[in-house]
Every structure is written in structure tokens, then in C-alpha cells.
Structure 1
Amino acid sequence: MTTVAAYAAPAAKAPLERTTIERRAVGEFDVLIDIEFAGICHSDIHQAREGWGTAIFPMVPGHEIAGVVSEVGPGVTKYAVGDRVGVGCMVDSCRECDNCKAGLQQYCTGSGGPTWTYNAVGKDGQPTYGGYAQKIVVDENYVVRIPDGLSLDVAAPLLCAGITTYSPLKHWNAGPGKKVAVVGLGGLGHMGVKIAAALGAEVTVLSQSLRKKDDGLKLGATHYRATSDPKTFEELKGTFDIILNTVSAPLDFDAYLSLLRTDGAMVNVGIPEEPVHILLSSVFGNRRSLSSSGIGGIPETQEMLDFCAEHQLGAEIELIGADRINEAYERVVNSDVRYRFVIDTATI
């Protein structure tokens, strides 16, 4: 066991505070990672405040982890000391179900599903703790390599924000000749714009206002429209092949579905805390679909990192010290970040 410093929420809705946690000893197939940077995802806030249901406390959030391998178990073959690596939203799965065998570990159908990086219980019966910490021990099969073309600070958010947007864009075939709308220009949305544009799609940002229009166009969007303007929904009716919804708030889904072409898909990657409602007629007439996508499997996460390195698609970040985590949470809730807070874990 190794004792490391971390930041944890001691109870639901409580401010995060500095503490110490125990990491397991490095097993045969484990790697010990010295964490250098950890992104702050809105999911961290939902879970630390029990917005998605009962959680496990104390909670060390963080599933956007970038660092360097400092020790490997005797059976490890994929990584060596000194390698630049990342850990995303999960640290294990059953490894035996059809989805796991297909590299879709995020959709594991084994008992209990995937083991999430935090707010979960591992196979050893112990709670998992995330990346707001100095070190983490992870099985090599749930670690990915960060290419040299990406600096670790801008790579950290790719472990959630990057793969969460890359996976559905690839699955629904975003590319040349396709029109993609990205709803929301935040931590997820700004990566969705970058990746969709790099894939060759024509990208439109749909945001409440035009406040971030200049940013959206610089990130790769061709168009930027305000959803607070009723003309947006009138003029863009039947326009898009894919709508990537990155916001975690209830929307008028019927209005957004009307923007899809025949066979178009609206894919949701944000999870509202409140129930949402749609009229079946919104999808019936044009064979439209309303779907969702959850992160990506380990092979696709590596593919995403390689793609981002090739196209120089790091996240847009604001680097902070650990003593500003609680301030950052409030700013995320108030949409006051462009576009991802990243913790310099040396400050823990």
C-alpha cells in the first residue's frame, strides 16, 4: 500500500479538502502512475454533489488523468517506467462479456458493469479513488499511451471530453459531406467542434447566445447560431446529419430533432439530472433517431489520442492549483471556463 495526498469530498455537496488515501500495492499487471495533470469534468461535480444519485464518500473525483509511469508489475508488457500515459473513466471491467471482448469495455454487461475510476467499488472490494491525487495504480489493460505530440496538460481532458465526443462522431460517420451540429460550447462541446472539423464535417455550433461565436469559429466551426433566437429553428429545419448534444440540461428535444435530415441522429453525451420528454412524432416522420453514447472503449480511446496528436487537437485549458478546485467547481456550474479546468497535481 502507498499513502498519497489527494483532494476529496468528505460528504455530498461538501467542499473538497486535502487528505491522504491509500493506493494498493503494484500487482503483477499493474502500473503505478505519477499523476501530473487531472481535468475537472462536470461529471465530477454531478457525482460529488449526488446529482446522479447516492454516491460513495469520501470521494476523490477525477477521470481525466495524465502522468508518467514510475513502476510496473512483473507481468506488465505494454508499458515501462518513464512512459507518458493516461487513465480515463474506467479502470476495469469483467473482460469476458461480448462487449469487453469487442473492445467496448464501457458497455460491459458483466456483473456490476465497468469499474469506474472513482465512486465505484473494485474487484478487491475497496472503493476506487480518482485523479485528484499524486499517484494511481491501474491495471495495464486500462491505461492508454499519450503520444509525444501532445503535452500532458492539454491531453488530460481528452481522456473524457475527447473520447466522449470522438466515439459518437466516428460511430455516426462524421466526415466530408456530413453536416454536424454541436449543442453547447463547453468542455465537451469545444472538443466536439475540433474533432468533427478535423474529420472533415461541416460544423455548426448551437449555443444559447452568440457570446462564444469567435471562439467557436476559431475551433473549427463554419457556422454559429443562437438557440435563443426562434429563427434558428425555423431556418435550420431538416439540415443536419448528426446533432451532438453535449449539455447536461433538459432541452426542447422536439425542437432539436426537427433540425435533423431524414435518417439523421441526435446523440446525447451529457446526462441531465432531471427527466426529459419527447413526442414520438418528432422522430417518426423522417426516420430520425434519438440516441446516446458513453465514452469509448480502451482501443478507441487510444485511437482518439493518436488522432488528436496527428491533428494537434489538445484541449483548451485553464491550469489551476489544487487549492482552487472548489472555486473551479462553481465556475463550471456557472459556465465560466474556456474550456476545461486542469489541476496541476504538483500543487496537491
Structure 2
Amino acid sequence: MDMSRRTFGLAAAALTLPAPVWAATPGKTTLEFMSSPLGDYLHVLLVRADKPALPVFRPDGFPAAPEPGILASIPERVARQQLTAYDDVEPLIRAHVSRGLEAGEAASAMAELAPSFEYLRLGKPFYEAFEAYWRENVQALSQAQISEWRLQNEQHGLLDRLATLHRLPGLKVDALPVVAMPFHASGSGTVDPPGVYSSLSRRPNLGWFLGHEATHLIWSGATGTEWEAHPLASRARALAEPRSIDLEEIACLLMQVALPQSCGMIPADYRISAAFPDGGMKRLLGSLEENLTIYQTDAVRWPTLIDYVLETSLTALA
């Protein structure tokens, strides 16, 4: 499971939650740029996500590192909801995990999460000190990246440009939070609720980040168009999955490059397939990159990017 599909972690991994369907006017989604000291603190507390460019936050008595994966996506969800009070974190988790479950199932889920809740409580006394640390060391860096992202989006209309590359309606949400998270390992996205999250970069490139993470949302039935409902999807998956190839991730990697290339943010001859070892994934990505300009001029053969990726998969992976 990739970063864009992270769940609440080990304790909740077995829960199957109903997928919400978000509603908005397609093509009218605006980007909302934000940061979150509480989300950043939870990355430090839960993931120990230290960064070389930032001082390490480890006050005396700070809790030992938790088990890997516990509440793994909570920092993003807290940041997306713009929570500011530490006491609101546990109710957020409880409400999300309990949604759609019968009373007995919800009680069982809460019992499984009890150790995680206890660990969160151990971290509460240190949050005030982290807020001071954040204002001194982190806030200006996050705001600088957000300012650059905002300028890039004003210049290029990146989300609308991405929908045009997909030849799909876009996202079924009125607003998409775009969150700068300095302690994030790289980037991720959540469908429920919709949001995208990125670490900081010396050279911020919103097109690179948004091309990847927003594609996950565009290809989801909850927030965009369900690619797995396409008539070719089952055949393409049958070829891809034995090779451990995630076709949605392939589309994200393709758009990670194609979106910034479409507005001159990276060189036109850059090929992301060159970074992969020989094999099916490199072959498929290479074929998609090689013929991308043909796709862009032939909407009859390939009405959408979903058609293009799936048809190319049947050929490249045969």
C-alpha cells in the first residue's frame, strides 16, 4: 500500500470503511494552501520524522518511539482539518473509524485502538513546547513554500491543466487542501477527506507534486472517476498485478512529469522511466512517455488518460 492510500495504521487496518462520495461542480475545484503545527507535531511524535535542515525536537521525557504504522496517517488528517487543540485529535480518530460501523463493531475497533490513544495522551504535555519550536524553526519555511506554490498555481492553473491532460471532469470537490508538512517523508493524498500533502523542497514544484497526488484523487470514484470500472481494467490488472505493478501509480508517475512539463517547470526531455530498473514497470512507463504526444492529439482513439494507460498496459505487458 503506497503513501497515498495510508490508513489509520495497524490497529485499524482490518476495518473496511464505506467510501464517501464528495459532490461539487466538476472543474470548479480551488486549491487551499495551508500548514499545521499540530499535524507537524504528530509527524514528530508518531513517525520520528526528523529532517537534516531542522533542529531535532526531543525534550526530556519525550515518549519513546511508537510501533511502526500506529495511526500512520493521522498527521495529514489533523492538518487537513486544521485542528489546533490537542484534545480534538482523539475525537477525530474515533469519529472517522466509527463511521458506518454497527455499535458492536465500533466498540471492538475502539478497543483495538486503545493503546494508540494512550500513546497520543503521552505526547500531549510536550505540544506547547513544540508550538514554540515550530514558530521559531518551521513556520517561515512552510510559508515560503506555500507562497511559491500559490504563485506557480496562479501562473499555470495547475489543477485545471491536470484535468485537461486526463481528459476527465476533474475532482468532485469544491476545494482541495494542499498542505505543506516539513516532517513528511515525501508526499501523500487522502480521499476521505480529500487532501494532498508534501514535504518541503529547496526548489518547490507544485506541478510535480500535484501531478502525482491529485491523479490518485482524479482516478478515485469517491472524488473523481473510478478507473477500475473501465471495461479494460480487469484485463490490464491481470497483467500488471503479478508483476507488482500498480496501474494507478503508473498514471500518477506519468502525470508527475507531464504536468510540470506542460508548463515548462521541468525539461521537456526528462523521462521518469529512466529512474527504474529494467522490467515491466520501466517498459510500461517508457511506452506511455514515448507516445504521450500522440495521446494528446488523438482523443478519438483514447478519450481519456484511463483509456490510454489501460490500452498501453495490454500491449507493453503482454
Same fold by TM (over 0.5)? no
Q: TM-score scaled by structure 2? A: 0.25
User: Greater share of strand residues, 1 or 2?
Assistant: 1
Kindly indicate whether structure 1 or structure 2 has the higher relative contact order, using CA contacts under 8 Å at least 6 residues apart: 2
